[in-house]
């Protein structure tokens, strides 16, 4: 066996080194998550961003409307 596998690919359950392509630990069959996996944006963060953008848009519309009302009077 060659020791070319990187040390960061270790099973968190049993500590066995596994190839980066493995999805399940070959020793204890724990489901492994790859270190290179991209973190998905939680829906709550997206909802909060939409809420902030909507609030800013409403505020901009309110300011524009107020400006129009002030110009009329
Ligand atoms: Zn394991």
**Predicted confidence band of residue 22 (pLDDT cuts 50, 70, 90):** confident
Is residue 46 scored above 70 in pLDDT? yes
Residues forming a β-bridge with 10: 17
Question: Does 27 share its domain with 49?
Answer: no
Q: How many whole angstroms from 12 Cα to the centroid of ligand 1?
A: 7
Question: Does 51 share its domain with 62?
Answer: yes
Question: Does 47 share its domain with 33?
Answer: no
Which residues, including other chains, have CB under 8 Å from residue 50's CB and lie 6 or more apart? none
Question: Does 19 share its domain with 48?
Answer: no
Q: How many whole angstroms from 32 Cα to the centroid of ligand 1?
A: 8
Determine the straight-line distance between the first and last CA of the chain, rounded to whole angstroms.
Answer: 86
Question: Does 30 share its domain with 1?
Answer: yes
Which residues, including other chains, have CB under 8 Å from residue 71's CB and lie 6 or more apart? none
Whole-model pTM: value is 0.41
Count up the domains in the chain and report the number.
2
Q: How many whole angstroms from 9 Cα to the centroid of ligand 1?
A: 11
> What mean pLDDT do residues 33-53 have?
82
Domain of 62? 39-73
pLDDT of amino acid 12: 87
How many Cα atoms are found within 13 Å in the side-chain-facing hemisphere of 5?
Answer: 14
């Amino acid at each position: 066996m060659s020791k070319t596998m990187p040390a960061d690919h270790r099973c968190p359950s049993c500590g066995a080194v596994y190839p980066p392509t493995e999805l399940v630990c070959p020793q204890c069959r724990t489901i492994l998550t790859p270190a290179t996996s991209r973190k998905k944006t939680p829906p709550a963060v997206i909802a909060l961003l939409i809420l902030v953008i909507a609030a800013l848009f409403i505020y901009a519309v309110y300011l524009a409307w107020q400006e129009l009302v002030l110009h009329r009077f």
